[in-house]
Structure 1
Amino acid sequence: MKQPLAYIHPDANIAPTVEIEPFAIIDKNVVIGEGTRIGSNVRIMEGTRIGKNCHIFPGAVIGAIPQDLKFRGEETLAVIGDNTTIREFVTVNRGTIARGKTIIGNNCLIMAYCHVAHDCMLGNNIIMANTTQLAGEVVIDDHAVLSGGILVHQFTHIGSHVMIQGGSKINKDIPPFVKAGRDPVSYTGINSIGLRRRNYTNGQIENIRNIYRYLYLMGMNTSQALERIEAEFPVTKERDDILLFVRNSSRGIIKGQPEHKSKKASALSY
């Protein structure tokens, strides 16, 4: 574990099986779990917690202070779960007084040049492709996939099993199980391929699709659609996850495909 060309603060808590490559710098008040590999020229800064069997590629900076004017030097954390890969030149800032920590969960892949700002909360099994940028206090739920070059506005919530087109600008919440894309970003259907890969049945997928027909394709406002979904669809976890997400959305959810582009596409087109 000891690498003579790396700097490791004597107060850092590094598991014996961690591999540290030359020219890495690890500050005090850092914890790194068993089996993790730290690449060359990585900077792990004060307040970082990294789990087991992670791989941090060269040039990444984890735990830098927030780029937020309300930060006053308070003790906060940047937490990375187990089996997560952080590719080249990713930056992950630690939290502020708002939430106290920035979290990236287990089994995530954060590709090169991505940025995860202060107080973001990322779940498990998330993929962020190259150069995607998260502003502060973004929440991303499990199994979401963000393609390359996406810009996510602060306080945005992205639901579980979502797939977002590369280059999108996200300033509204994106409810679970959907695909989102185009400009402005809008609902484009159900992430059926991703759901099948995660062992959702055809019946579950069709039920999700029908729920979103009510939300996006039947000419109702959101309140009307939610009332009818609750009244007309049987209770399932997927139904309740969608209802809870939309009702709790502080920014409002993304809209359907603009009419001039969709040409009033029927529900059957999805």
Structure 2
Amino acid sequence: MAEIHPTAIVEDGAKLGDGVRIGPYCIVGAHVELGENVCLESHVVVAGHTKVGSGTHIFPFASIGHKPQDLKYAGEETYLEIGSNNQIREHVTMNPGTAGGGSLTRVGDNCLFMMGSHVGHDCMVGNYAILANNATLAGHVELADYVILGGLSAVRQWSRIGTGAIVGGMTGVEFDVIPFGSVIGDRARLAGLNLIGLKRKNFPREQIHALRAAYKALFESEEGTLRERAQAVAQENPDEPLVKTVTDFILEKEDRRFCTPRSGD
């Protein structure tokens, strides 16, 4: 049975799993589905066609599932799916998708969204992501697993950030960030690899060394284009999983622009 505070409003049609707790002055819309043991603290609003996975905890004044901030949105039925065991802190906003972007915004499991962070329409957020205070994703952003965004950072629409990457505070990301990359600056520049993150996840030292060598070949050489260098690095390192993750990311889509080191870095 769900535990619902007398001041909360749960509209007819909402689906509540076992152990759901809904605090004072919350509003849950008719098309919302809350999984088992979801907790809404006070003054949370969950609207639209939104699913929230089990064990997710949403804190006061979060706005989840309201119509996207897109002037092209015309009221069509679109969706927001949030995974399990997420922490969604105060004043976080998450929007559903749009018809032009696949109609779906998806958030994975075990993520932390700190105060004031934003997930725009049609974003795809992986597992174990961390968005620090007031970090924001514009529409159509792809965020892979274990990405960390520093406070007050912003990611431009259609950008991709690869697994294990870290974005410094107050950084504006205009282009794709390679997996395990570290970017920083007013307009993001690639400042190296997220070596601390790699070590914390206990990747073998040999794999990290191979990745560092590949990074030098990719970004410290002036021969050919980045795509051509990635093809060469991939051929030279067919059995190195970290290197393959980076080269696959670069080669996956043509005509992409990437955050790269600035001259002199």
The alignment's TM-score, normalised by the length of structure 2, stands at 0.94
Quote how far apart the aligned CAs of 1:3 are: 1.5
Cα distance in 2 between the residues matched to 1:13 and 1:191:
41
> Residue 195 of structure 1 aligns with which residue?
198
> Residue 237 of structure 2 aligns with which residue?
233
The match for 2:15 among 13, 19, 25 is 13
Cα distance in 2 between the residues matched to 1:223 and 1:161:
21
> Residue 167 of structure 1 aligns with which residue?
170
Percent identity over the alignment is 35
Q: How does 1:91-240 map to 2 (within 5 A)?
A: 91-97=93-99, 98-220=101-223, 221-240=225-244
Cα distance in 2 between the residues matched to 1:107 and 1:199:
19
| CA shift digits 1:3-51 (9 cap, x unpaired) | 1110001210011311111000001110001111101111000211000
| CA shift digits 1:224-269 (9 cap, x unpaired) | 312320232242332222122112345311111332xx2xxxxxxx
The match for 2:34 among 32, 35, 43 is 32
Q: Which amino acid aligns with 1:118?
A: H
Describe the SS at the equivalent of 1:107.
coil
Q: Which amino acid aligns with 2:28?
A: I
Cα distance in 2 between the residues matched to 1:149 and 1:223:
31
Cα distance in 1 between the residues matched to 2:166 and 2:243:
19
| Structure 2 unmatched runs, 5+ | none
Describe the SS at the equivalent of 1:64.
coil
Q: How does 1:43-58 map to 2 (within 5 A)?
A: 43-58=45-60
Poorly superposed stretches of 4+, deviation over 3 Å:
none
Cα distance in 2 between the residues matched to 1:194 and 1:165:
13
Describe the SS at the equivalent of 2:4.
coil
| CA shift digits 1:134-168 (9 cap, x unpaired) | 11000000000011001110000000000111000
RMSD (Å) for aligned C-alpha atoms: 1.3
The match for 2:79 among 77, 80, 87 is 77
Contact 1:156 1:251 survives alignment (8 Å) = no
The match for 2:257 among 239, 252, 266 is 252
Q: Which amino acid aligns with 1:48?
A: T
Q: Could you tell which deviates more after superposition, 96-105 or 212-221?
A: 212-221
| Structure 1 unmatched runs, 5+ | 263-270
Cα distance in 2 between the residues matched to 1:234 and 1:202:
18
Q: Which amino acid aligns with 2:4?
A: K
Cα distance in 2 between the residues matched to 1:138 and 1:57:
24
Describe the SS at the equivalent of 1:230.
helix
Cα distance in 1 between the residues matched to 2:17 and 2:207:
43
Q: Which amino acid aligns with 2:222?
A: G
The alignment's TM-score, normalised by the length of structure 1, stands at 0.93
